[in-house]
Structure formats: structure tokens, C-alpha cells
Amino acid sequence: SGFPSLLKNGLSKLGVPKEFLEFFSRRTGDFPRIPEAKGSISAIRDEPFFMPLYELYLTYGGIFRLIFGPKSFLIVSDPSIAKHILKDNSKAYSKGILAEILEFVMGKGLIPADGEIWRVRRRAIVPALHQKYVAAMIGLFGKATDRLCKKLDVAATDGEDVEMESLFSRLTLDIIGKAVFNYDFDSLTVDTGIVEAVYTVLREAEDRSIAPIPVWDLPIWKDISPKLKKVNAALKLINDTLDNLIAICKRMVDEEELQFHEEYMNEKDPSILHFLLASGDEVSSKQLRDDLMTMLIAGHETSAAVLTWTFYLLSKEPSVMAKLQDEVDSVLGDRFPTIEDLKKLRYTTRVINESLRLYPQPPVLIRRSIEEDVIGGYPIKRGEDIFISVWNLHRCPNHWEEADRFNPERWPLDGPNPNETNQNFSYLPFGGGPRKCVGDMFATFENLVAVAMLVRRFDFQMALGAPPVKMTTGATIHTTEGLKMTVTRRTRPPIVPKLEMASLEVDVNSVSSERA
């Protein structure tokens, strides 16, 4: 700062163009430097990496540079800088490290892809998640959750505790397999080779995202490591399965007479894959597989984590649980939710909004600058690796009242559904800008159905002697030792609300007749 910066401010007030002032400042070396945090994060071993980033944020502010030896990262925790990177100047950023780490499993799928490939694939995939598709998925969410309920029923009868995190993971795997490529993993019931393969690959992706050295790239090692062999075999099994599903789906599309249109959906197979093939999407089979794999992972881990942390939070706040159960009893009773029901489950929606605030999935977004830019008043070069800490944004003590408290009431029931736009990038559960999640509606309905049906039928408590719930992280936030809960059937007699005729007409199929 000093005189040059006073001069710059003065000139800028006089209307001198910003470009000129930036040029001028660069010549005089007047740009302030980004605060630097040196030292080693790995000193704090038993914490997930985003926790020390929170401490550093409180010290260094909304943007700082974290230096490890020759490497450095910019850590962003400021809403307006996040908005600049994700939305206003998103063309200047790529997925950087994330694309490098995920390459082995997602290839050039929609999450890691950049540039032209991303543009083309986004344009092909977004239309597949149209409203009619998402509405049709609500029936699937109900059926899958019902399978989980049956499992919990058995545990409740036998008085056995259940590990909910792995059950949620299986629930959302079953759902996403059907939804994306019409495949029934049935992982809540059986452990097949393919289910194990999916978990092998997921664990590898997470290991790589926190590994200090890319051992998977080391010559020789990569050919002899037993772990990598197992990963490659798992990848091959998944790829073969996907190729097979693509071939089956192609045959179905060839034989059907349905005309393709905007809200096209094959009732027997409403999957995203079916839509893409029917749309005549010209895509290589490798790219198609990459996109399917990307959606499988994106839609599976995230939702499982949201459900896990929601039930954890609920177990700590019985008053929220009671209010939630009241709402579900009066809106839903004991039938499968319809889309009308979901719109009426306002408090349930707030519970999920709040869970996503406290445990955002993923907790950080990764970008790399591919051009020079100015962020938060600091010039940056191309090639800067950037972490946008959604965790920090969502827990900023200046922005949120009692930031660490699980308080669904912070958002009024009759207010808008909070999102990155109406919260000015202080809250971004699904990202923002052109790379925003394509599955946000899908995931919101999925979580609503699962939470509503589960709390309708059961009470959930932390099991006696359960391990303490601590966080660890790969792509999403996991628990270190699972979420061990005691599940009991609710004793209150079911109130079965009358069905309105309107909703009967809309969705007869999702009204269950097999309720106990």
C-alpha cells in the first residue's frame, strides 16, 4: 500500500479505467500480496484436512496462500471471490488437480472434463434430467427406501444395532444404478462382485485424493502393486458391465417406436442412459462410459454422506427430530411420498438444507487458473491451484448466527429454498455457475423421501457404546468408524391422512398398498 495505492484509489475515483490502473500498479509493484500461511498441515494427522484450513481462515482471512515446500495452494473462503471463480469468470478456471486424480476412474466424464468436451457433454446430459424424469424417480426412491425399512424392521425386532453409514451408501448405490443406467445393484440385499468392485474403485479414488505422492504413476510399482492390480480388475469389471448395459439399452432403443422429444422417457427404462441413446447423442462408447461412471460416483457418495450426517445431527437434537416426525406424520402418514407430498414437507426440506450447510459434500471445490486473473484485489498467474472451502463459507462466524449449531429454523418455512443465488454464494450446497450440480433436484427429492420414510417408521438413537463420531475425508465427509445406531419402531399409532383426489390422479402408482 502507501502512496501508490492512494494514488490508484484516487485515479479510480476519477474514472480512470481499471485495466490502466492494473497495468500501472504492476509496473510500480503496488499490488498487495496474498497473505501466506506457511507450515505443515500434516502435523495435525488425525483431523480431516479442511479443519486446519478453517483455523487458518480465522487467522488469515478469505483468501490466503498455503505453502508446502515447492507447492502452494490458494485457499478461498470468501463468498464474493467464490462467486467470481465459479460464476462470473468461470471460463478462466479448470478442474485442475481434481481432473488429474479422477482420470483413472472418470476419464473425461462431466465432473473432471474441461473446455469443449465439457460443453458438449453438459449440453447432452442436462436435458436427460428433465422434470418428468425426476418426478418418475420419486417412485424409485420410495421403493428403495422401503427395502431399507424392511432391513431396519428386522434389526429392530432382533434388538440389533445397525451401522447406518454403510446402509445409506447401499441405499444410494441401488438408487443411482437404476436411475443412471437401469441396473439393479441390489446392494441392500446381496454382496455381488460388482458392488465390491464399485467400493474398491471409490476407496482408491479417495486414497489418491489424500495421497502425498502419486505412487500409482511410479514405473514398475504400478505394474506390480497388488492393490493397483485389484483396482484395475475392479475397473475392468465395471467397464464390462457398463458396456453390456449400453448394448442392452441400444437394442431396446432400436426396437421401440417412441418418438424422441423434450420430455422423452421410456416408462420401462426411464434411465439417463436410455434418454441419451434415444436422443441420438453422438458419443464414443468410452466417453459415454466415462459419463455414466461419473454420475454413478457423483450421485452415490454425496447423497449417502448427506443422509449419514443428517441422522447424526438429528440424534443430537431430539427437538428437531420431534418436529420433523410431526410434519411427516401429518403430511405423509404411511404411504409412499408423491411429488405433492414432497412440496409440503417444508420443515423436512429445511432439515436437509441445514445438514448440507454443516456438512457440505464435497467440503472443498477444486479449481486451477488457466489465465491470469485478479481475485479479491490480488493478481494471480495462470496455473494456480485453488481450493474453495465450502466448509468455511458455510461456517463463517461473521455470517451465520451460531454457525456451528444445527438449527433448521434459521430459514423460515415460508421463505425461498436457500441456494447459492439467494444466499449470495455464502451457501452453495450444489456449487454454482456453469459447473453447478446437474443432479440437485434429483438429490433433494431422494434425500427428502429417504428421511421422511425412515423417521416416519423409526426412532433413531446413537447406540450404547457406539464409537465416537469423528470425521475423515476423501471426496465427501465420512465418519471414521461408522454411525452405529439403535433403531426402534415408533409406538405412536399411524395417522393416515386422507389422500387428496388431485394427487391420486397424478400418481396412483406411488401409493403403496402393501403397508403393514
- Sites of contact with ligand HEM (CB under 6 A): 110-111, 122, 294-295, 298-299, 302-303, 306, 361, 365, 429-431, 435, 437-439, 442-443
**302 or 315: CB nearest ligand HEM:** 302
Closest residue to ligand HEM, judged by C-beta, is 439
Which residue, among 272, 242, 244, 277, has the nearest Cα to 258 in the 3D structure? 277
CB of 212 to ligand HEM, least distance (A): 22
Query: What minimum distance in Å lies between the beta carbon of 375 and ligand HEM?
Result: 16
Asked whether the beta carbons of 186 and 174 are under 8 A apart, the reply is: yes
First to last CA, the chain: 72
User: Closest CB to ligand HEM among 110 and 463?
Assistant: 110
User: Phi, psi at residue 239, to the nearest 5°?
Assistant: -60, -40
Mark out the alpha helices in 333-406 (DSSP H runs): 339-344, 346-358, 390-394
Provide, rounded to whole angstroms, the least separation between the CB of residue 198 and ligand HEM: 15
410 in Cβ contact with 354 (< 8 Å) = yes
Q: Smallest distance from the beta carbon of 101 to ligand HEM, in angstroms?
A: 12
* Pick 156 or 388: Cβ nearer ligand HEM: 388
Round to whole Å and give the CA distance between 333 and 453: 9
Specify the pairing of strand 373-375 against strand 378-380. Answer: antiparallel
Closest separation in Å from C-beta 23 to ligand HEM = 32
Which among 78, 40, 95 is positioned nearest to 378, based on CA atoms? 78
Q: Which of 185/430 has CB closer to ligand HEM?
A: 430
Q: Which residues of 313-337 are buried (b: 16+ CB within 10 A; e: fewer)?
A: bbbebeebbebbbebbbebbbbbbb
Whichever of 171 and 443 has its CB closer to ligand HEM, that residue is 443
> With contact defined as beta carbons under 8 Å apart, do 165 and 479 qualify?
yes
Cβ proximity to ligand HEM, 278 vs 307, nearer residue: 307
Residue 217 CB, shortest distance to ligand HEM, in Å, is 23
User: Could you tell me the smallest distance in angstroms from the CB atom of residue 61 to ligand HEM?
Assistant: 23
Per 3-state DSSP, the chain is made up of helix, strand and coil in percentages (nearest 5) of: 55, 10, 35
Cβ proximity to ligand HEM: between 178 and 346 the closer is 178
Give the Cβ contact number of residue 441 at 10 Å: 17
Q: Which is nearer to ligand HEM, 284 or 513 (CB)?
A: 284
Please list, in sequence order, all residues whose beta carbon lies within 8 angstroms of the beta carbon of residue 448, skipping any fewer than 6 positions away.
337, 342, 345, 348, 349, 352
Alpha carbon distance 503, 381 (integer Å): 56
Written as one letter, the residue type at 297 is I
Q: State the minimum distance, in angstroms, from the CB of residue 303 to ligand HEM.
A: 4
Show contacts of 380-387: CB within 8 Å, 24+ apart.
380/34, 380/74, 384/74, 385/71, 385/72, 385/73, 385/74, 385/96, 385/97, 386/73, 386/74, 386/75, 386/76, 386/85, 386/93, 386/96, 387/53, 387/73, 387/74, 387/75, 387/76
Shortest gap between Cβ of 409 and ligand HEM (angstroms)?
Answer: 21
Between helices 440-457 and 346-358, what is the axis angle to 10°?
A: 110
Instruction: Dig out the grid coordinates for 423 from the structure.
Output: 444466499
Nearest CA-CA partner of 439 in 164, 141, 200, 217: 141
Give whichever of 305 and 487 is closer to ligand HEM, judged by the CB atom.
305
Q: What is the DSSP string of 40-102?
A: -GGGSTTS-THHHHHHHHHHH-SEEEEEETTEEEEEE--HHHHHIIIIITGGGEE-THHHHHH
In the complex with ligand HEM, the residue whose CB is nearer, 335 or 435, is 435
Q: Give min distance, CB of 227 to ligand HEM, in A.
A: 27
Closest separation in Å from C-beta 443 to ligand HEM:
3
For residues 456 and 329, the answer to whether their CB atoms sit within 8 Å is yes
Widest CA span in the chain: 78
Which residue number, 81 or 298, has a Cβ lying nearer to ligand HEM?
A: 298
**Any idea which residue has 438413537 for its cell?**
461
Q: How far is the CB of 368 from ligand HEM (least distance, A)?
A: 11
Residue closer to ligand HEM by CB (options 194, 437) is: 437
Distance CA 188, CA 198 (A): 14
| Closer by beta carbon to ligand HEM, 435 or else 478 | 435
Q: Cell numbers of 448, please?
A: 427428502
